[in-house]
Structure 1
Amino acid sequence: MAKDDLVSIDGKVSSLSGGGVYYITLENGVDISAKLCGKMKKFKIKVVVGDRVTVGMSPYDPTHGLILHRHKF
């Protein structure tokens, strides 16, 4: 699935786990797991607990996501 086909939803990082897995609480209260997208890895953008992020989710699997953007305060 291409990155253009993902559904973008805002959320907040609630915790992180080993292997680069982040747990995100979405605006509607649902918790999902997500990983960083390739551009964020390439440019070494750090995401910590408490950051607001935009998550791209597949419409077919709503439990996993891809962190696309980290919002500034």
Structure 2
Amino acid sequence: MAKLPPIEQDGIVQEALPNVVFKIALKNGHIVRAHISGKMRKNYIRILPGDSVRMELTPYDLTQARIVHRYKTTE
């Protein structure tokens, strides 16, 4: 059986939790928990509450996500 591709969504960081986990509000009102991707962690990209981010959600569990991009304030 083929693996389903991730679902990409944009959201706004609401709260920083322990162990580099964040609560993120999606545009449709849902709240998901997300962690930073390895490339962002390796390059020391900071995520703060209020930042706009793009994330990948697994189609198997829509409450967990991976942050793959932080938008600049001008984007």
Q: Any stretches of 5+ residues in structure 1 without a counterpart?
A: none
1:1-40 counterparts in 2 under 5 A?
A: 5-40=5-40
Aligned-residue RMSD, C-alpha: 1.4
Spell out, residue by residue over 1:21-55, the C-alpha distance to the aligned partner (whole angstroms, 9 max, x if none). 10000011100000000000010000000000001
Q: Percent identity?
A: 35
Shift of 1:6: 1.1
Partner of 1:42: 42
Stretches of 4+ moved more than 4 A in 1? none
> Which of structures 1 and 2 has the bigger CA Rg?
2
Q: Distance in 2 between matches of 1:37 and 1:5?
A: 16
Aligned AA (1:24): I
> Which position in structure 1 is the counterpart of 2:66?
66
Greater helix percent: which structure? 1
Higher fraction of strand: 2
- Aligned pairs, how many? 71
- For structure 2, list consecutive stretches of 5 or more residues without a partner in the other structure: none
